[in-house]
Amino acid sequence: MEKIYLDGRLCNGKGRKITEYTKKDLLEIARNNHIALPKGSTKDDICKLLIAKNIYSEFSLPPPQSFSSIEELMNKLDVKDARELIHMTEGELEEIISRIKLYNGTVTMKDFLQGKTGSERAKAFLISMADKYCRCLKGVESKPKKGNYNPNAICSSSVFNSKGLKGPGSSYQCRPMPLLLAPKGKTYLLEKK
């Protein structure tokens, strides 16, 4: 599928690249918001129309650097073992893993990760937490807004704080793949509260 890049200068005059989208992504955003598009609309036409209708929440601004896999992130940080990405002891990690259910709620992560090495367990844990966080953000942002609320705070509390972990703040990405990112100058992605 062809990738298209939306440049903020073309859309909202802020001069920032918004993110990478396929045309299908844009059409879905328009359809979800009941916006009729003229036949033959270009990517810029769709973008301008979405911005004009104040559909900002679904345009996630990219982090300073985005990664297509956790392996790419580890290579960039020069990390050989995924356990170095988690600022907690093996025992603390195991305790948290044993309390987390997979997204379908039927199997615990501990059962799912049996037989995996420590590095594989840490990697799967990080990917799962990032995926839960991004799905939570999408769910919260899609609901009608009632007063002031902060989707990041709601999802940090639900996904991370409830398990004794610090939330990622702005150090995460949901596209092209859900990933937690290291705070500036650090190599770890998650730590205990």
Which tens digits make up the pLDDT trace of 175-189? 888 999 887 778 889
Could you tell me if residue 170 is inside a domain? yes
Residues 13 and 79 in one domain: no
Among candidates 35, 56, 41, 43, which has minimal Cα distance to 7?
43
Residues 133 and 162 in one domain: yes
Q: From residue 140, how far is each of 88, 134, 154, 158 by CA, in Å? A: 29, 10, 8, 11
Could you tell me if residue 152 is inside a domain? yes
pTM: 0.65
Domain that holds residue 114: 70-191
Residues 81 and 127 in one domain: yes
Q: Are strands 86-87 and 179-180 parallel, antiparallel or unpaired?
A: unpaired
Count the neighbouring beta carbons within 10 Å of the beta carbon of residue 78: 8
Q: What is the pLDDT of residues 92-133, one digit of tens each?
A: 988 888 888 776 667 788 888 888 899 999 999 999 899 989
Number of domains in the chain: 2
pLDDT of residue 12: 43
Could you tell me if residue 61 is inside a domain? no
Could you tell me if residue 101 is inside a domain? yes
Residues 129 and 46 in one domain: no
User: Which DSSP letter does residue 5 get?
Assistant: E
